[in-house]
Amino acid sequence: MSRSRVTVVDIARAAGVSKSTVSLVLQASPLVNEATRAKVNAVIRELGYVYNRGAANLRQSASSRIIGIIVNDLTNSFFAELAVGMDMVMQSAGYVQFLSNSAESVDRQREVVASMREHGISGLIISPARGTEAADLKPLAASGIPVVSVVRNVVGAKVSSLVSDNYAGAKAAVAHLVSLGHSRIAFLGGIANTTVFAERVQGWRDALVEAGFEAPDMLVIGSTASRAGGVAAIERALSLPAPPTAALCFNDAAAFGVCDGLRAAGREPGRDFAVVGFDDVIEAETAVPALTTVSVDPQGMGRRAAQLLLKQINTGKVEPEAIVGSVRLVVRQSCGAGEKAGRMSA
C-alpha cells in the first residue's frame, strides 16, 4: 500500500512527458532513451513517488526486477565475493539484489525462499545449506522462477547449477605438492558430509595413489571450513605419530588458519610446511606467505552465475543447465615453491 499521494500523472506533468513514458521508465523498459529516463527519474526522486510494485504486479505481469541471493555462510569472504560478482552483473542489467544468509540452516532457508517467492523475485541464486533437498527448491521451479544453484549441487532438483571442478582442482594441487618432494600430504578442514568435501578428498586420494603414496584416512582431518577450523586441524595433524609435511586445505579460510596454527607451533608456513588452499579469495594474494591455492575465482563465478540466471529470465526458458567451472592452481609462496623460485632467481 503506497503511502505516497503522488501519481504517475503528476510525474508526467512535472517531467513534461506522457503518462505512458513514465510507465515505461517505471518498468525499466529499454524503449526510453537515457536522457528522458534520467529526467523522469529525477522528478520521481524529487516528488518522492513510490512505484507500488505489489499493486502493479496484481494489475499486470510486470517483472519485479529483484533477484534473490541465498548463501550458506556469509562470514566466509568467499560468499561475500561471490555476491559482489553477481551484483556487478545484476546492477548493469537493472536488477536489485536481495541477499539472505541461511547460516547452514535448512529451516531458515525455507523461510527465506518463501519470503522471496512471496515478494516476487525474478530469479534466485542459491548456495544451498547442508541438507537441502530437491523438495526445498521445487516450488520455485514449479512457479516458473529460474533458479541457479552455485557451489553446491542439490541432487534431483531440476534447477541449473554452476559448481567448480573440485576433483580436478584437488588432484592438481596434490600433484604439485608431490612434484615439490612431499609424500605425506594431509587434507585439512571442511565438514565431511558435503559433496564438495567428498570430491576434493577424492582428488587428494587419487593424486597420492597415482604417485605411489599412501592416502590413509587419518590424514583427512575435518573441521569447520573456517580460519578457526584450520587452526584446530593443523594442531591435530602435527600431533600425529608420523605428521604430514604438507597439506591441501578444504578452502582458503581453513588454509589461513593452518598458517596461523603452524606459526603458533613455531613453524613457518611455506618454509617448514607446505600449505595449499582452495578458492583464491582476494586476500590469498596479499597474505604473507602469499597463498598457493586452487583458483575458483569467486567474483568471476558470481558473474557467471548471474549471467546464467539472466539468460533464463530473458529467454523465459528454465531448462536446467549444469555447468562445471574449470579451476586452476595458482602457485604462490605458501607451498614452498615460491621460496625455491625466489632463491633460484637470487
Positions in the binding site for its own copies (CB under 8 A): 1, 3-4, 45, 48, 50-55, 57-58, 61, 64-66, 74-75, 77, 80-81, 83-84, 87, 91, 96-101, 103, 108, 110-112, 114-115, 117-120, 138-139, 142-144, 227-228, 231, 256-257, 259-261, 263-264, 282-283, 286-288
Between 134 and 264, whose beta carbon lies closer to its own copies?
Answer: 264
Backbone phi and psi for residue 281, each to the nearest 5 degrees, phi listed first:
-75, 165
In the complex, the smallest distance separating the C-beta of residue 156 from its own copies, rounded to whole angstroms, is 17
DSSP string, 248-290: EESSHHHHHHHHHHHHHTT--BTTTBEEEEEE--THHHHSSSP
In the complex, the smallest distance separating the C-beta of residue 24 from its own copies, rounded to whole angstroms, is 17
The CA distance from 265 to 216, in Å, is 24
In the complex, the smallest distance separating the C-beta of residue 12 from its own copies, rounded to whole angstroms, is 18
Between 98 and 213, whose beta carbon lies closer to its own copies?
Answer: 98
Between 18 and 115, whose beta carbon lies closer to its own copies?
Answer: 115
In the complex, the smallest distance separating the C-beta of residue 151 from its own copies, rounded to whole angstroms, is 16
Q: How far is CA 94 from CA 30, 33, 175, in A?
A: 10, 15, 44
Between 121 and 201, whose beta carbon lies closer to its own copies?
Answer: 121
At 113, list the grid cell: 525462499
In the complex, the smallest distance separating the C-beta of residue 207 from its own copies, rounded to whole angstroms, is 29
In the complex, the smallest distance separating the C-beta of residue 231 from its own copies, rounded to whole angstroms, is 5
Which residues, other chains included, contact 183 with Cβ-Cβ below 8 Å and sequence gap of 6+?
211, 213, 245
Between 203 and 257, whose beta carbon lies closer to its own copies?
Answer: 257
The CA distance from 199 to 169, in Å, is 10
Residue 94, helix vs strand vs coil: coil
Q: How far is CA 151 from CA 3, 47, 294, in A?
A: 41, 43, 14
In the complex, the smallest distance separating the C-beta of residue 67 from its own copies, rounded to whole angstroms, is 11
Between 210 and 283, whose beta carbon lies closer to its own copies?
Answer: 283
In the complex, the smallest distance separating the C-beta of residue 16 from its own copies, rounded to whole angstroms, is 22
Question: In this structure, are residues 188 and 248 in contact, taking their beta carbons and an 8 Å threshold?
Answer: yes
Between 90 and 177, whose beta carbon lies closer to its own copies?
Answer: 90
Between 178 and 254, whose beta carbon lies closer to its own copies?
Answer: 254
The CA distance from 245 to 260, in Å, is 16
The CA distance from 110 to 116, in Å, is 10
Nearest to 195 by CA among 218, 165, 173: 165
